[in-house]
Amino acid sequence: MKPRLVYILSSSALVLVALALRVWGRAWSLPYVDHPDEPAVVWGILRVVQGELNPNHFFYPSLMFYVQAATWTIHFWWGELTGLYPPDFVASRSHHFYTSIPAAFVWGRVVTALFGTLAVAALAWWSPRLVGWRAAGLAAALLTVAPWAIIHSHYITVDGPAATTGLLALLAVVQLYRNGGRWPDYVLAGVLAGIATGTKYQNVLVLGSIGIAHILLWRGAWLREAGRGVLAGGVAVLVFLATTPFIILDFAGFQRDMEKLFNSYGGIANGDLNGTFPIMGYLRFLWREGLLPIPSLLLLAGLPVLIRKQAHLTLIILSFPLLLLLALLRMEVHFYRNLLPVQAPLLLLAAIGAVALWELLAPRLSARARPFVAATALTLILVPSMLQAGAAAARLAQPDSRVVAQEWARVHFAGVRIASELSHPLRWAGVAQATPQYFLPLNPPEWYVQQGYGLLLTQSLRRGGREAWTPDYTALLAQGQVVYSVGGRTSGYLGPRIDLITTPLTLDTLPVRSPQATFGGLRLHGGQLGRLQRNETTEERTSDMRLTAGDILAITAYWSGDAPIPPDDYSTFVHVRDATGTTVTQRDTAVWQGLFPPHQWQPQQVIVESLDLLIPDTLAPGRYTIVMGVYRSADGYRYPAQQGDARLPADELVLGAVVVE
């Protein structure tokens, strides 16, 4: 097989491996959104999707907002076509900590993964004509298995794409130099520099690489040929403005966000490092994570050889990383992710240096020894990164403890209300089984029984990250039982440690025992009425029967099944009636909003359902009666409502009365 064909096949396989590592685990943590930058980017994407071309978020240029918005528009169109979303669906723009559109996040992360793969493809297929196929292939392999690059390819952020567009612009600069400074190469370098800057502002420094390449190429005539450089710069500016036009159209907004951004980097924010010129911190990070030790050693060992043999090429490739490092070091606050664009150029230099070292060593080896030594060297260079890359990708592909625990509770405690230390409980078709309660030890076990909670969900983050129980939980543990635990630092799961604890709520300890009735096979053991009271940390169902317009009337129904209940259509109605018997407001929904149909209920288990109602602003002051019943939504048939042997009139039960003031 011809060497060219071997390289094409092997490099293509490398690109496919890079793609696989970057899309594997693309749904990590969803529907929970743990990366702090994703919600802000998604907010801008959804503005564009919903017709506002100004993302109104100038912390980043706009190119990735538009690229992602095009992808998300296709996703929403396809989602409506397949029934994933209802017709004319409009997504909420706020997705902090939890998202109701996890499938859209997956699509967005795939876009980032494709950009990450494009960087590998550029090294594999473009750089061979610039630096030789050996160096290009090794650089592509190093980037394929670079854990840091893989991890950032899983985020809907601009950092990963910025690394790719920065690399493309730098390769165009190298091509400009290699081809002798042709006009088309200056234009290409300008276009890609504009795209790179349109991805992230810091990539504007690649223009410095164009200037350095121009001077090295034309030497004494660089000023006479300055028009070429001016052309590249002008093209870059035009392309950048095309990607981010609202810098001009909304200059006040741009100015406002830039002021905030510079203030945050001036010392207001807390970063990975703080203080100006943390050189050792940057070097330590590049050694441990950014490049890893072996590529770092190759870079250090190969640079002297490269400078001696290919000084101009080395300076051009090194110029962009050095300019970026110098610019970042001057800041007061430092985030390692801003270093991503330096990774690929430094790995390329490490690969070129490795090839240069091999060319010095190879003539001293016998023809028989060379293949063995080369294979051994490649193994030593790539295997450590491969192991870390596999571990990083596999880690992101693991289930999330928060999702696993709530899915388990949904199956094993169907219809049981959960008090959860998670601020955003899992939802199925918009319905949550759990209610947020910031820190469970703030209330005694009796309070949870009175509120109708049968299960408590705790998370280690509320204990400062400690997985062991703290004394605060003693009372809850004394009257409950840990029925399920998942997650933790050594578990392999994403997310915190989650424990599920039962409460003393049983059919014998119900907080209410009236009114009671049966509706077909469903037994109602009692119902509570009162005003729902909420604050930032908790939700409480009070016994206050006096409400005002705009309040939420908390209605809690305590159900059980006397025996296994056959599948059927069970829906509840709750009517609010005035003194004349007229229904003034009502609620109709499937039992447990369809999340826990009665045939899933476990016999003798307490099923607690919230049937809350908003008191409308139009409701006149007065006394109102609350009645409920169970019916079949398909034809309106009401299941027989009985108290003992007596059938209730109209098959409905009076729960009580409230006063609206």
**pLDDT(499) > 70:** yes
Answer whether residue 508 is part of any domain: no
Answer whether residue 392 is part of any domain: no
Enclosing domain of residue 562: 517-660
What does the alpha-carbon distance between residue 23 and residue 154 come to, in Å, rounded to a whole number?
A: 7
What does the alpha-carbon distance between residue 225 and residue 462 come to, in Å, rounded to a whole number?
A: 64
Residue 269, pLDDT score: 65
Domain closes at, from 328, 363, 378:
378
Answer whether residue 90 is part of any domain: no
pLDDT level of residue 195 (50, 70, 90 thresholds) = very high
Greater confidence (540 vs 206) lies with 206
Question: Do 546 and 466 have their domain in common?
Answer: no
**pLDDT(370) > 70:** yes
In the chain, how many domains are there?
3
Lowest mean pLDDT of 321-335, 377-391, 594-608, name the range.
Answer: 594-608
With H, G, I as helix, E, B as strand and everything else as coil, classify residue 555: strand
Greater confidence (189 vs 309) lies with 189
Nearest to 110 by CA among 166, 67, 172, 171: 67
What does the alpha-carbon distance between residue 500 and residue 490 come to, in Å, rounded to a whole number?
A: 19
Question: Do 525 and 498 have their domain in common?
Answer: no
Structure tokens of 488? 């933790």
Question: Do 625 and 577 have their domain in common?
Answer: yes
**pLDDT(422) > 80:** yes
**pLDDT(14) > 80:** yes
Do 604 and 559 meet the contact criterion of CB atoms below 8 Å apart?
A: no
What does the alpha-carbon distance between residue 279 and residue 287 come to, in Å, rounded to a whole number?
A: 12
Question: Do 203 and 56 have their domain in common?
Answer: yes
Inter-axis angle of helices 133-144 and 340-361, nearest 10: 130
Question: Do 53 and 128 have their domain in common?
Answer: yes
Neighbours of 492 (CB within 10 A): 12
Question: Do 178 and 246 have their domain in common?
Answer: yes
Answer whether residue 394 is part of any domain: no
Nearest to 446 by CA among 527, 503, 529, 525: 503
Do 264 and 333 meet the contact criterion of CB atoms below 8 Å apart?
A: yes
Following CA atoms 346, 351, 355, 358 in sequence, which dihedral angle do they give, to the nearest 10 degrees? 100
Residue 111, CA atoms < 13 Å, CB-side half-sphere: 25
Domain closes at, from 467, 502, 537:
502
Answer whether residue 92 is part of any domain: no
Domain closes at, from 319, 344, 378:
378
Question: Do 149 and 258 have their domain in common?
Answer: yes
Question: Do 192 and 313 have their domain in common?
Answer: yes
pTM of the model: 0.91
Question: Do 312 and 192 have their domain in common?
Answer: yes
What does the alpha-carbon distance between residue 582 and residue 229 come to, in Å, rounded to a whole number?
A: 81
What does the alpha-carbon distance between residue 321 and residue 342 come to, in Å, rounded to a whole number?
A: 5
Biggest CA–CA distance in the chain, Å, is 107
**pLDDT(639) > 80:** yes
Greater confidence (607 vs 536) lies with 607
Question: Do 462 and 592 have their domain in common?
Answer: no
Strand extents, DSSP E, 548-651 = 552-561, 571-577, 583-590, 607-610, 613-614, 622-631, 641-643, 646-647
Question: Do 136 and 250 have their domain in common?
Answer: yes
Residue 543, pLDDT score: 84
Following CA atoms 400, 402, 404, 408 in sequence, which dihedral angle do they give, to the nearest 10 degrees? 180
**Tens-digit pLDDT profile for residues 548-584:** 988 999 999 999 887 788 888 999 999 999 999 999 9
What does the alpha-carbon distance between residue 344 and residue 286 come to, in Å, rounded to a whole number?
A: 12
**Tens-digit pLDDT profile for residues 249-289:** 999 999 999 999 988 887 766 789 999 999 999 999 999 99
Answer whether residue 288 is part of any domain: yes
Q: What angle do CA 105, 106, 109 make, to 5 degrees?
A: 85
Task: Express as a percent the part of the chain with pLDDT over 90.
Answer: 89
Residue 506, pLDDT score: 93
Element spanning 539, H or E = strand 539-541
The mean predicted confidence, pLDDT, of the chain is 95
Nearest to 481 by CA among 530, 534, 413, 403: 413
**Tens-digit pLDDT profile for residues 299-319:** 999 999 899 989 999 999 999
Location of structure tokens 């403005």: 241
**pLDDT(106) > 90:** yes
Answer whether residue 95 is part of any domain: no
Answer whether residue 93 is part of any domain: no
Angstrom CA distances, 165 to 112, 168, 248, stand at 12, 5, 23
Residue 593 belongs to domain with CATH number? 2.70.50.60
Question: Do 468 and 524 have their domain in common?
Answer: no
Region 63-90 average pLDDT? 96
